Amino acid sequence: MAKVFVITGPSGVGKGTLIKELLQRVPDLELSVSATTRQPREGEVDGRDYHFLSAAQFDRRIDDEDFLEFATYSGNLYGTMRTEVERRLAEGHSVVLEIEVQGARQVRAAMRESVQVFIAPPDPSVLRERLDSRGTDAPHAIDARLEVASQEMAAQDEFAYRVVNDDLEHASDELERIVRAELGLSDG
C-alpha cells in the first residue's frame, strides 16, 4: 500500500539531506514538489525544486482549493498541491512531503493515515551552524528561520516518530528503518 510520509523539523536540521538519501535507499518513493512564493535560490530549478509562483498565482490556487495544505513561513507562502500527491499515489508510489509544522498538522487532519516524522537537532545550536555552512540564506533570513525553529521544536511531541540528526549516517539508517517498516518492506 502506497503511503504519504510527512517529514518536518526546523530549518537547517537536515530534512533535505536526509530525504535525498532516503529516496536513494527505498524504492518507489517520490518527493512531492511544493509550490512557493519564495525567490529561487541559486541553482534551484522551477518544477524540480519548487513550483515558483507569484503571490497572485498562489492566491488563485488557494481560491481554487488546489492545495492539500499551505502555510506562511518566514514571510512566504508554501503549499502542497493535491495533484502532486494524488497522481503519485494513483500510480502506486509512496509520497514524501518535506514541509513545515503548520502544514504537517493540516496533512495529519486531512490524511490520518499519513506517517509523520519530526527531524530534531542534537542541540538547537547546530541549526545556526548548519544554516551558516549551507550558505543559502542571508544573516537576517537565518535569524528569522531560527525564531520559527524554537516554535517548531515545541511541537515535536505531536509527531509519531522523532529522528535526531546528529550523525548523518545514523539518522539516515533510522529514517530508512521507519519508512521500510511502515511500507512492510524488508531491511535494505
Applying CB under 6 A, the residues found at the interface with ligand ADP are 11-17, 130, 133-134, 165, 168, 171
Quote the radius of gyration of the chain (alpha carbons, Å): 16
Q: Encode burial over 120-142: b for 16+ CB neighbours within 10 A, e otherwise.
A: bbeeeebbbebbeeeeebeeeeb
Binding of residue 58 to ligand 5GP (CB under 6 A) = no
- Looking at residue 176, its amino acid is E
Nearer to ligand ADP, 62 or 168 (CB): 168
Nearest distance in Å: CB 140, ligand ADP: 17
Nearer to ligand 5GP, 4 or 71 (CB): 71
Spatial CA neighbour of 2 closest among 33, 27, 35, 24: 27
Spatial CA neighbour of 10 closest among 143, 115, 119: 119
Q: How far apart are CA 77 and CA 102, in angstroms?
A: 12
Q: Which of 19, 79, 159, 171 binds ligand 5GP (CB under 6 A)?
A: 79
Instruction: Give me the residues paired with residue 36 across strands.
Output: 52, 78
Could you tell which of ligand ADP, ligand 5GP, none binds residue 80, using a CB distance below 5 to 8 A set by kind?
Answer: ligand 5GP
CA count, 13 A, side-chain hemisphere, 35: 24
Binding-site size, ligand 5GP (CB under 6 A): 15
Residue with C-alpha cell 524554537?
A: 150
Nearer to ligand 5GP, 78 or 118 (CB): 78
Nearer to ligand 5GP, 66 or 181 (CB): 66
Q: Which of 58, 78, 118, 159 binds ligand 5GP (CB under 6 A)?
A: 78
Q: Which of 98, 118, 127, 159 binds ligand 5GP (CB under 6 A)?
A: 98
Note the residues at the interface with ligand 5GP (CB under 6 A). Answer: 11, 15, 34, 38, 69, 71, 73, 78-80, 98-100, 102-103
